[in-house]
Amino acid sequence: NAGVMQNPRHLVRRRGQEARLRCSPMKGHSHVYWYRQLPEEGLKFMVYLQKENIIDESGMPKERFSAEFPKEGPSILRIQQVVRGDSAAYFCASSSYSPSGLSYNEQFFGPGTRLTVL
Amino acid sequence: KNQVEQSPQSLIILEGKNCTLQCNYTVSPFSNLRWYKQDTGRGPVSLTIMTFSENTKSNGRYTATLDADTKQSSLHITASQLSDSASYICVVTYNAGKSTFGDGTTLTVKP
């Protein structure tokens, strides 16, 4: 059972370009979370998605950032018109949810995508 | 405001020694608390997870405790090894899926 997969592992973009980060959750997981980690800082929540639904995007910047988790395929975090301050490691995590609605909600993390904006 | 605070921010110990990391939270309503280990350049890996009814849980040389009344948790590492050098992150989940992360404690184990 493969873990959470993220690609690319490293991404270099020039200012003003678009960055697309992909996350494939663990098999059987229908919940995806995106986090950003600036150098020497802790993980910061960005967005929580289920298939075709954004559940919580309270940590997402209002402009230039968007996320989706389509019915088929990986979750995508999209950053438009990147700026140097977007340089960070972006981690994706996935979790399952029990039918009763109660869950440990344990999140399994991917290896991250390191975005460098030149 | 839901917050998770960890202490110390960083810690240096000698190989073979024990250490304890602290996590205080104000998150409500509480669902569960997790400790993660994050090696440099990698994603976090879960060490323990506890609900409010559990006050201790072990995973090898790692033992986590939880006091839901005082809203405190600790992670105790026994007989530390060089490979324990990492960032340890406390995460509290509330409201069915929302989580608040602490900033982590950076542990360095020296030979």
The predicted pLDDT at position B57 comes to 94
> Tell me, what's the pLDDT at A102?
46
Q: Is A48 touching B (CB cutoff 8 A)?
A: yes
Residue A97 CA from chain centroid, whole number? 18
Quick one: pLDDT at residue B24? Answer: 97
Closest-CA residue of chain B to A105: B97
Q: Which of A15-24, A54-63, A100-109 has the lowest mean pLDDT?
A: A100-109
B102 interaction partners in chain A (CB closer than 8 Å): 42
Q: Which of A4, A31, A45 sits opposite B101 (nearest CB)?
A: A45
Of B45, B46, B101, the CB nearest to A43: B101
- Considering only CB atoms, B103 lies closest to which of A42, A45, A110, namely A42
- Nearest residue on chain A to B104, alpha-carbon basis: A42
What pLDDT is attached to residue A69?
Answer: 95
Contact B89, A97 (CB under 8 A): no
Q: Please list, in sequence order, all residues whose beta carbon lies within 8 angstroms of the beta carbon of residue B69, skipping any fewer than 6 positions away.
A: none
Min CA distance, B64 vs chain A (Å)?
Answer: 16
- Nearest Cα of chain A lies from the Cα of B23 at a distance, in angstroms, of 14
Q: Which two tokens stand for residue A5?
A: 């997969």
Q: pLDDT tens across B38-50, in order?
A: 998 899 999 999 9
Asked if the model's pLDDT at residue A25 lies above 60, the reply is yes
Question: In which residue are the tokens 């150098």 written?
Answer: A39
Q: What is the pLDDT of residue A5?
A: 96
Which stretches of chain B drop beneath a pLDDT of 50?
none
Contact between B17 and B65 (Cβ < 8 Å): no
